Amino acid sequence: MLRLRPFRKNDAKTIITWTNKKEEFYKWSAGILGEYPVTEKRLLEATSGREDNDRYFPFTAFDENGLVGFFTARVRPEEDDKKLRFGYVIVNPSKRGTGYGKQMITLGLKFAFEIYGADSVSLGVFENNKQAYYCYKSVGFEENGVREEYNLCGETWIDIDLEIKKEDIGQCPQDHYAHVLFNSFSVLFFSCPHLKHIPPNK
């Protein structure tokens, strides 16, 4: 059973172990977290001081065996607060290929649309990260025409922007989004003014 809760500082020491290769690290961070390998300090710096920020929400996904994934949801400075941006999406390597990535993003979308009240959610994925690209597509994200070049690992990588709108949820293939959200509702937990039910040992 996958659950979602706010990121805690002691999660960082586990999350930084999930990128064991340089290329994986840059696919995840786009170089924003500095040079490979990432340190616990750098990850904490990227998420610190956000506890009372109503435009930035770092989340940790977990199951009965421990931490499974991590991502952030934020409002970009140049955009209105009805648009959320997902970033730093990562899943524990031992859990990849199990559907947990799709479940985590789906729970994130439930927060975005049903709890936060966003009208749309966007994210970026590198062209060479096919597994992540098709994961996002399967949840209902579509390309919005925005692409950006990054110079990483001595190469030019193309970042593809994807977006999903609340109004288009019912148009997803086979209503996948609505189906998964319905089945996931009972395992969604947040530590915020809206919901306070979080297992103390996770």
Q: What average pLDDT does the segment 77-83 reach?
A: 92
Q: Per-residue pLDDT tens for 99-124?
A: 999 999 999 999 999 999 999 999 99
Phi/psi at 50 (5° precision)? -105, 0
Token output for 67: 């931490």
Entry pTM: 0.85
pLDDT for res 61? 97
Q: How confident is the model at residue 126 (pLDDT cuts 50, 70, 90)?
A: very high
pLDDT for res 141? 97
Q: How confident is the model at residue 197 (pLDDT cuts 50, 70, 90)?
A: very low
Per CATH, the homologous superfamily of domain 3-187 is: Gcn5-related N-acetyltransferase (GNAT) (3.40.630.30)
pLDDT for res 171? 57
The domain ranges of the chain are 3-187
**pLDDT, averaged across the chain:** 86
Between CA 58 and CA 20 the distance in angstroms is: 22
Residues facing 148 on adjacent strands: 159
Between CA 62 and CA 69 the distance in angstroms is: 7
